[in-house]
Structure 1
Amino acid sequence: MLSKRYCGIVLGALGVSMAGQAQDYLPVLQYHHVSASSPKSTSVTPEQFTEHMDYLKNAGFQVVDLRSALDDLKAHKPLPEKSVAISFDDAYRSIYQAGFPIMKERNFPFTVFINTEPVERHSRSFLTWEQMKEMEASGGVFANHTIRHPYMLRKEKGETDQDWLARMTHEVDTVEQLLNKHLGHSPKMLAYPYGESNRQIRDMMKDRGIMAFGQQSGVVSAESDFENLPRFPASGAYATLSTLKTKLNAKPMPLLSEETGGDFATDQPVSIRLTFKEGKYRLKDMACYVAGQGKASLNWVSKTEVVATANKPFGVGRGRINCTMPDNSGKHYYWYSNVWIRSSADQGYVSEKS
């Protein structure tokens, strides 16, 4: 398996050299179920998934191994032009039954983030270790999605902060041990359940050399936070081909800095302060959208600095602001997203300062 992956990297590098073109960012697609009978909000039908994969192939996209591409980006090494990575969350058996044959036929590598509790109890709705081994032989990689898929920032009743952190450490380390036990290795990647993390959790990832993904949308670049990476959802409402094309043409927002106010929202509207790098950008064409609210108000405090503010506070749950801006060619959009958690007292979230 590793030799095939390395061969793919070498061939990709040769392709970059021959074409004289390269890419310094990576869109990562996120799927869950590949099924017509599972919840629509987290599913693509086999027909939709085939349409997506056919588009990638016919439009000349280079589907790359996720961990190898992340390593290259972090090391400032170029990726092949039109690189993209494919990922799945939750280890549903429909990935093996309906998704895997489609990717195998096209020779596409992919990553599945697995929560191991249903795998270990042999749930018929989830993958088996034997199926994972079979998928590994054709480009599949299996990574960490914790044991039980918890809200990682919520404490159980009566739990201290120390107890909570110990439980989260167990959730992460146990899956790493199971990956090594059953598959012989771990790619050292994790997807946060529900996309939720804080500085303590992200520091845990960094200490273990684990690259981790949230649920904010956008593309990965060398300047990304490799303990809180973005992906593009490609299921449910985001499964249309037109939506997919827009995301595949996204670039990282050219930011010098960002200020979000932390991981938690309050009873006041959230705001973000974005400072742009020097360059010629279509700043007047930038727009920011607040989940469930429409456009955010933009206050340009200088020629290269803007504050985007939501119109009203978020309700309890997760809220986000997405900002996009066309590039000078008009063919691509710069993309930025941030997610906040608005908690309620009965949910048991850890302190916002944790």
Structure 2
Amino acid sequence: MRFAQFAIQTLCYIERGNFLRASVATVGPVIFPTMSGVHHDGIESFAGIFHRCRWHRRTGGQRNEETQSKSTVDQSRHPISYSRSSSSAKNFCPEMSKRSRPSLVLAWCFEARFRKKRLFFMRPELKAFTSIMLTRSALLPLLLAFSVSTCKKHENLAASPQPQNPTPKAFGVATASPSINAAANSPAPKTTKPVVDQTAQVIVFGYHRFVTNVRHPDTEIMPAAFEAQMTELKNRGITVIGMQDFLAWKRGEKNIPPRCAIITIDDGWKSQYEVAWPILKKYGYPFTMFIYTEGVRGGHFGGGEAITWEQLAEMRDAGIDIEAHSATHQDLRKPYDKVARKRLSPPEYEQWLQNEIVGCKQLLEQRLGIKVNCFAVPYGFYNEHIKEVARNAGYEAIFTVYGQPLTYNAPLNSLGRYMIEANKPKVFADAVKMIGTSTGGAAAVAEVATTNLATQPADGETVRTALPLIRANLSAMGPVDPGSVQLRVSGLGLVPASFDAKTQIVSYQVTQKLREKTCTVILSAKSSGKKIETHWTFGIEETAAATSTSPTPTPTPKK
């Protein structure tokens, strides 16, 4: 209402050409309320006193006569309104009627009933409802709407919470743009781990020296026998993988084929660089070198048949994995230093053990600039204290010499290896049979890696539907007998897959929703009379699997 009153007064003054009063009526409501002791009702009248007084002193009695004549005319035109205005002024302050003039009524009320000094201003003359009043009626709603919107804006600003303890901007530091802030505040994309085949099995083979004349059959093997074993791994469909791929599978970060082998070579002999490496290159097999640092050329046990640091660096550059095998290659359980040739006290033993396990790791990492995360225990002798020291040193896996197939849940602190000896060829054959698919006289089956088959979904991939399209390209298998192609899906069994002999593509569209979160596909066929098999695993998003597992509600029959 105050805003409406000020708006009406301002329009009145503008119509009469009194711009001074218009400015006072507009600015006054903003400035005067901030001053203590000044009442808002007397703001405009207070300004009007000085304006009127100055004007009257200049014009003198001429202005009084004009005013009286004008008031007489106005009173004759609007007698009713004039009488009502006069009576209102008398009721407010009775003494006004004695001093009031027709054109201006001013009064100071000092009665006791008025606790505040109130300035009262009143103009009785009224104008006819002319075209100017129509303009005023049109502008008034606009001013009222503007005042209401302004009030609401201030109320919203007052109600909005202010930030607590705002962080001051550093001098000279540019403020990030809103787009950058939005990108920084946006949630990071969710990373989904690949689906791994937890039923896969891995065997680890261990070798030492490669010589043509075997004198120490427990650690030596002929190059021809070694190459024959590598050939057998290929013929049996056993995939040779790297050590770091194996550890990634154990962490659930990478998938591996169902039957795998790892090649490891211990100590650090020159023949490993000159003989074994070229053979493994021929087959494209990755392998791991377990090096004991004092056995490298220049070390305490590094003679003329030892490998050199330069050769190790060359193998490192070619992608060969190099890990730790202690410093002096001793039984770590015994407190005896064969370099110093003395027994060790408990404090000396702890210091010596730290050098054997931790010191060799640090030396390999510093000399070759690599990361060492595997430790092969010398002779396979260890205890809980040795495993604890190795774990505290940062080793992820500890290998022994007690061969066994390694599974997904095999403990990483005691991973067994099959150590191959020249006088015990049966060790290799038994290890292959442990993870081979042919047992009890059944026909041999060659395993093919899925990376050569362009499978869909890919091995380890997670799909968003429980009705995926399964397909693979069998051209890498060679000539395939179309009638021998079989496709099995976990949860569904043998499915009627279609095979295109021209494109060598086998495919099957799942029609029954898969219920599990993981799905395994086994694909087999015959090529040149030999059975070939491969299998891969993919995942299904939980929402899709949950939808397929929820039973379909049975509609209630209408009665």
TM-score by length of 2: 0.39
Displacement of 1:22 in angstroms is 7.3
Counterpart residue number, 1:161: 346
What is the Cα deviation at residue 55 of structure 1? Answer: 1.4
Name the SS of the counterpart of 1:88 in structure 2: strand
Shift of 1:231: 0.6
Matched, 1:207 2:392: yes
CA drift of 1:72 comes to 1.2
User: Could you tell me which of 322, 325, 350 is aligned with 1:142?
Assistant: 322
Q: 1:222 to 1:60 in 2, by over 3 A?
A: closer
1:127 positional shift: 1.0
Contact map agreement 1:48 1:239 (CA 8 A) in 2 = no
1:49-64 superposed matches below 5 A: 49-64=226-241
Structure 1 counterpart of 2:433, from 240, 249, 265: 249
- How much does 1:79 deviate? 1.8
Structure 2 CA distance for partners of 1:238 and 1:212, relative to 1, 3 Å: same
Q: Distance in 2 between matches of 1:173 and 1:22?
A: 32
- In 2: Cα distance, 1:139 partner to 1:35 partner: 24
- Pairwise CA RMSD of aligned residues? 2.4
Which AA in structure 2 matches 1:164? Y
Q: Deviations over 1:161-208 (max 9, x none)?
A: 332122111112221122112221123111111111110110112222
Query: Using the alignment, how far apart are the partners of 1:23 and 1:103 within structure 2?
Result: 27
CA distance in 1, matches of 2:303, 2:257: 39
Report deviation, 1:74.
4.1
Are 1:93 and 2:270 matched, yes or no?
yes
Quick one: which of 214, 219, 223 aligns to 1:46?
A: 223
Aligned residue identity for 1:34: F
Q: Aligned to 1:111, which of 262, 281, 288?
A: 288
Bigger proportion of residues as strand: 1
- Partner AA of 1:101 in structure 2: P
- Residue 221 of structure 1 aligns to a residue in which SS? coil
CA distance in structure 1 between the aligned counterparts of 2:253 and 2:410, rounded to whole angstroms? 12
For CA contacts below 8 A with separation 6 or more, give which structure has more relative contact order. Answer: 1
Please say if 1:185 is aligned against 2:370: yes
- The two structures have a TM-score, normalised by structure 1, of 0.61
Q: CA deviation at 1:23?
A: 4.8
Instruction: Tell me the amino acid that sits aligned with residue 29 of structure 1.
Output: F
Letter in structure 2 aligned against 1:81: P
Does structure 2 conserve the Cα–Cα contact (< 8 Å) formed by 1:46 and 1:98? yes
Q: What pairs with 1:1-354 in structure 2 (closer than 5 Å)?
A: 23-37=199-213, 38-75=215-252, 78-119=255-296, 120-121=298-299, 123-156=303-336, 157-210=342-395, 211-240=397-426, 243-250=427-434
- The residue type paired with residue 233 of structure 1 is M
Tell me the amino acid that sits aligned with residue 166 of structure 1.
Q
One-letter amino acid of the structure 1 residue matched with residue 266 of structure 2 = D
Partners of 1:76 and 1:180 lie apart in 2 by 24
| CA distance 1:182–1:76, change in 2 (3 Å) | closer
Larger % of helix: which? 2
SS of the residue corresponding to residue 247 of structure 2 reads: helix
What is the CA-CA distance between 1:132 and the residue it aligns to?
A: 1.4
User: Is the 2:205–2:419 contact (alpha carbons within 8 Å) kept by the matching residues of 1?
Assistant: yes
C-alpha displacement of 1:103: 0.3
The count of residues paired between Structure 1 and Structure 2 equals: 233
Contact 1:87 1:112 in 2 (8 A): yes
Letter in 2 for 1:83: C
For the structure 1 residues 108 and 152, does the alpha-carbon distance in structure 2 shift closer, same or farther, using more than 3 Å as the test?
same
Q: Give yes or no for contact 1:155–1:164 (8 Å, CA) kept in 2.
A: yes
2:369, 2:391 → 1: CA distance? 22
Any unmatched runs of 5+ in structure 2?
1-192, 337-341, 436-559
Question: For the structure 1 residues 148 and 158, does the alpha-carbon distance in structure 2 shift closer, same or farther, using more than 3 Å as the test?
Answer: closer
